[in-house]
Structure 1
Amino acid sequence: MAIPKNNPTFLTSTTDRRTFITSLTKAVGASALLASPFVTNAGSLNFPQQSYTVKQIIDLFLKEIPEAPFDKTVDTLKSGSMDTKVTGIVTTMFATVEVIRKAIDLKANFIIAHEPTFYSHQDDTEWLQKDEVYQYKANLLKQHNITVWRNHDYLHTHKPDGVMAGLVAALSWQKYVQSGSQARFVLPATSLKDVISHVKSKLNIQMVRYVGDPTQSCQKVLLLPGASGARRHIAEIEKEKPDVVLVGEAQEWETVEYVRDARAKGDKLSLVLLGHAVSEEPGAEWMASWLKSKFSGLKVTHVVSKNPLSFM
């Protein structure tokens, strides 16, 4: 059965961003963006002063993370110093050159990025020392005394997972999440085409790639943003038996081929590739709302890094 056109939770018109931000901010304040199994009990710990160091800000967030700080993590400084006095914060998915320039314009000297700054998961830069693009970006950060901290492992470990919390709020799917899993949703039955239209509208996606039949009825949805990899994709598909799995990105020779073979076998399974950046961007925006709820008086701006790929 198709969802009625006047169903407010599944509209395909342009996202009312102010409504989303308001609901996201309220939810962050209450730490209840998802169903109760994923709610954190951490209270507000606002600092009384108006001047903070990078370390103070990071330490406050880590107080909400089980077993933090981690011995092994990619969540390290990519530039700058823990002792830097923060003039403003920019949250984003990727600390791109464009995002850095925007931070400079905003007089913000602390960027919190969810993904790598220097083109590899570990941000290893030894192999880039003579590369002109790396040198330009590193020098731009140094010239303007900008500290970049990656918040990936900790954001995903937060209760609720900050990326999933932001993404579910952006999609208006809070009431469809199933207990025991923050990635499994049961929607009113609708077509794959309408599911795709919904996520494109809500996440401001120009185009998606997919495997499946647009007329297929979809109700059970598996939501795996970012790049969690084929092993997790396939394990979750086998466990949850979804009608459609929405992922950020996938190796074309792994998950994509698995879904193609599953369909040839006769399974009613579809796959939608949202794009890595856009699928996790709401998580970076969730972080901005968290910061605003804790550090009143400190300017926090979310800057969308956008999907770098264009479509012809």
Structure 2
Amino acid sequence: MNQTQNSTPFNDGVNRRKFIAQLSTLAGTAALLSGPLTGNAASIIKQAENITVGQIIDLFMKQVPGAPLPNTVDTLKAGNRDIVVTGIVTTMFANISVIEKAISLGANFIIAHEPTFYNHADETAWLANDDVYQYKKQLLDKHNIAVWRNHDTIHSLKPDGVGLGFLKQLDWVSYYKPETGNLLTLPPTSLGNLIDTLKKKLKIEKVRYIGNIAQSCQKVLLLPGAAGGKRQITEMSTKKPDVLICGEISEWETAEYVRDAQAKGDKLSLIVLGHIASEEPGSEFMIGWLKQHVPGVKATHIHPGNSLQFL
């Protein structure tokens, strides 16, 4: 995600759209955290219907007051609203590998969280003569596949749908409190043990980090995705966590701040998961929503794989 498009889960009021009402009670929060978004019979598309791409998009949009959001990137990147859906794939990135797997499954609707065409707004004029772009576009067109980006909308749920998927995958749902948002209080553990937990639960081979692996960590600030250096630094400054767990950073911003904080004597560590690892659980969240609200269509989650490898 682009840093200019705030897209970090668990937002508790900083740079987040104000129209979503805060959950009024912990009981209400617990109900939402326990499963996918609930709804009455009118919010479920029945199996007997010919379900279109537009119907499914509109149904999800109804979960967020005011959606579709102004200036949103949540638009169709391929296909059209009238396509009758034969199957759905949720994923972080609609890369060529994911598209080919969707074709093999007979799925013609891909719900992706991030851009399809290599820039935040999916602008394609600059790619008109690029053979990689043309190959991908022609593959989608040939198989009449619709690709919808669900980014701003899922992040505008309360709690954030991507963040909720992240919490569930880590088994940290019980630590979430609306009043503290993305600052969680965990049972004390070492930085090394915390890293091991993240690698195991998120299936990450390696992470980047700053800190003493023996440091005790209890106050954990979660900023999956690409919140940007100013956001990351501001929240560390005001919330005083033991450790920031984030998706990605600019090394000349957040990493240097943490190093200077440690030189000053602060107990502050940093764990960088990678963008895909930190936000892919949102696509798992979407599978739960689809199975509840669109039970008549087969939905499959496909992990896009990691774009980078470590030697």
Q: Give the TM-score range, shorter chain.
A: 0.7 to 0.9
1:192 matched to which residue of 2?
Answer: 191
1:80 matched to which residue of 2?
Answer: 79
Secondary structure of the 2:221 match is strand
1:214 matched to which residue of 2?
Answer: 213
Give, as a single letter, the amino acid of the residue that structure 2 aligns with 1:277.
I
1:233-244 map, 5 Å: 233-244=232-243
2-structure distance, mates of 1:164, 1:181: 14
TM-score in terms of structure 1 length: 0.87
Cα distance, 1:177 vs. partner?
Answer: 1.9
1-structure distance, mates of 2:308, 2:240: 31
2-structure distance, mates of 1:43, 1:271: 42
Conserved? CA contact 2:224–2:275, under 8 Å:
yes
1:51-200 map, 5 Å: 51-200=50-199
Cα distance, 1:31 vs. partner?
Answer: 5.5
1-structure distance, mates of 2:180, 2:88: 32
1-structure distance, mates of 2:60, 2:85: 15
1:32-51 CA distance string (max 9 Å, x none): 2179xxx9674451123342
2-structure distance, mates of 1:43, 1:79: 31
1:32 matched to which residue of 2?
Answer: 32
Conserved? CA contact 1:91–1:303, under 8 Å:
yes
2-structure distance, mates of 1:303, 1:181: 32
State the superposition RMSD in angstroms: 1.6
Conserved? CA contact 2:37–2:289, under 8 Å:
no
Identity %: 56
Secondary structure of the 2:252 match is coil
Relative distance call for 1:31 and 1:102 in structure 2 (3 A) is farther
Give, as a single letter, the amino acid of the residue that structure 2 aligns with 1:285.
E
1:115-158 CA distance string (max 9 Å, x none): 00001111111111111111111111011110000000000001
Matched residues, number: 280
Secondary structure of the 1:253 match is helix
1:216-239 CA distance string (max 9 Å, x none): 010000011011111110111112
Which shows bigger deviation, 46-55 or 126-135? 46-55
Give, as a single letter, the amino acid of the residue that structure 1 aligns with 2:254.
T
> Which of residues 45, 48, 54 is equivalent to 1:47?
45
Cα distance, 1:71 vs. partner?
Answer: 2.1
1:262 matched to which residue of 2?
Answer: 261
Give, as a single letter, the amino acid of the residue that structure 2 aligns with 1:33.
L
Q: Which runs of 5+ in 1 are unaligned?
A: 1-29
Give, as a single letter, the amino acid of the residue that structure 1 aligns with 2:96.
V
2-structure distance, mates of 1:241, 1:178: 17
1:212-260 CA distance string (max 9 Å, x none): 1101010000011011111110111112100000000001111111111
Relative distance call for 1:41 and 1:88 in structure 2 (3 A) is closer
2-structure distance, mates of 1:105, 1:307: 21
Give, as a single letter, the amino acid of the residue that structure 2 aligns with 1:239.
T
1:230 matched to which residue of 2?
Answer: 229
Give, as a single letter, the amino acid of the residue that structure 1 aligns with 2:45.
F
Q: Which runs of 5+ in 2 are unaligned?
A: 1-29
